[in-house]
């Protein structure tokens, strides 16, 4: 069961990573300024881009959200051990 949790955790991480890359690509498709702003100022600018350009950014947002949900379920419910966490 622990192996299944680790696999689900990594799958969730990959979904978040792919969703993040697609989000940046969507911002660059809108304009070079949006892309650079989302890339270098990701917090507030990404949220503004998501709200203002919802139709363009929603797919990548939901992909990241599904990845986060899968990651949290794997870590909490399936007791997967986060590999980069140190055990003292």
pLDDT tens across the length of the chain (88 residues): 677 878 888 999 999 999 999 999 999 999 999 999 999 998 899 999 999 999 999 999 999 999 999 999 888 877 656 666 565 6
The CA angle 23-26-30, to the nearest 5 degrees, is 140
Alpha-carbon span 70 to 8, nearest angstrom: 7
Say if 81 falls within a structural domain. no
Q: Which residue range(s) make up the domain with 47?
A: 2-76
Helix (H, G, I), strand (E, B) or coil at 31: coil
Residue pair 86/46 in contact (Cβ under 8 Å)? The answer is no
pTM above 0.95, yes or no: no
Task: Confirm whether 39 is domain-assigned.
Answer: yes
Name the domain count of the chain.
Answer: 1
């Amino acid at each position: 069961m622990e192996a299944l949790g680790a696999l689900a955790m990594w799958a969730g991480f990959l979904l978040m990573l792919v969703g993040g890359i697609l989000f940046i690509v969507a911002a660059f498709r809108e304009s070079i300024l949006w892309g650079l702003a989302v890339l270098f100022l990701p917090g507030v600018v990404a949220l503004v881009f998501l709200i203002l350009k919802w139709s363009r950014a929603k797919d990548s947002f939901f992909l990241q959200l599904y990845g986060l949900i899968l990651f949290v379920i794997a870590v909490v419910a399936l007791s997967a051990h986060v590999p980069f966490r140190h055990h003292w």
